[in-house]
Amino acid sequence: MTDTPPQTRIQARNRAAILEAALEVFAARGFRGATLDRIAQAAGLSKPNLLYYFRSKEALHLAILQDLLELWLAPLRAMDPEGEPRAQIMGYVRKKLEMSRDHPRESRLFANEILQGAPRARPVLEGELKALVDEKAAVISGWSAAGRIGPVDPHHLIFSIWALTQHYADFEVQVRAIMGDTDPYPGAEAWLERVFGAILDIPHHGP
């Protein structure tokens, strides 16, 4: 995804260390709150050496964002128009929840970007993302029209999936503050199963 592919061992190792460190720091503090000093230190490099690998703070952030967007869109891309509707949607929900659990920093970095008006990601949002969402929304509409799932607004359905799953990563501090030491994810998984089960249910009429 990044344009300059690592070539030597050292390059590969350092680039990876930087990306990892930068993800950590950008996610926790936002673009402005992050300092190259802190990222360099976390990566075990000097600041100028970090800039030897990435031209600027901006470029580093962009590199992460691009990798991230690929990761982010993949599960929605994987939704199969030929598959069983309920399974496809529930699979997407489950995958997104897993990503919140396993990649919370990516989720928060993305949330930070959007929250601040998507100064860097906007083109992708209005381009690739919109196209992909429209495409999948059409698929869902088809399923709904065919009576294979209940009547849904496909766009809002997708927003709901995003909101409900990412919430556990983005608002983790709040979730933990309320749930104490309990791991929220098992409960969340069951709950979302229940929620989307209810949403997708085909309404039946009284006897």
Partner DNA sequence: GATGAATGAGCCTTCATTCAT
Partner DNA sequence: TATGAATGAAGGCTCATTCAT
Which residues here bind its own copies, judged by CB under 8 A? 28-33, 108, 111-112, 114-118, 122, 125-126, 129-130, 133-134, 150, 152-153, 155-157, 159-160, 162-164, 166-168, 170-171, 173-175, 177-179, 187-188, 190-191, 194-195, 198-199, 201, 207
Which residue, 49 or 116, is less far from DNA as judged by CB? 49
Q: Which of residues 9-28 bind DNA (CB under 7 A)?
A: 10-11, 14
- Tell me the residue type at 179: M
Distances (CA, A) of 136 to 70, 108, 163: 17, 24, 17
Contact indicator for 55, 2 with CB cutoff of 8 Å:
no
Residue 100, Ramachandran bin (φ over 0: left; ψ between -120 and 50: alpha; else beta): alpha
Q: Does 5 bind DNA (CB under 7 A)?
A: no
Nearest approach, Cβ of 132 to its own copies (angstroms)?
Answer: 10
Contact indicator for 2, 63 with CB cutoff of 8 Å:
yes
Which residue, 58 or 84, is less far from DNA as judged by CB? 58
Measured CA to CA, the distance from residue 89 to residue 80 in angstroms comes to 9
Q: Residue 169: exposed, middle, or buried by beta-carbon count in 10 A (0-12, 13-18, 19+)?
A: buried
Q: Does 45 bind DNA (CB under 7 A)?
A: yes
User: How far from each other are the two terminal CA atoms of the chain, in whole angstroms?
Assistant: 56
Q: Which does 171 bind (CB under 5 to 8 A by kind): its own copies, DNA, none?
A: its own copies
Among 49, 116, 174, 182, binds DNA (CB under 7 A): 49
Q: Does 34 bind DNA (CB under 7 A)?
A: yes
Give 52's contacts (C-beta < 8 A, 6+ positions apart): none
Which residue, 53 or 196, is less far from DNA as judged by CB? 53
Q: Which does 202 bind (CB under 5 to 8 A by kind): DNA, its own copies, none?
A: none
Positions in the binding site for DNA (CB under 7 A): 7-8, 10-11, 14, 34-37, 45-49, 51-53, 55-58
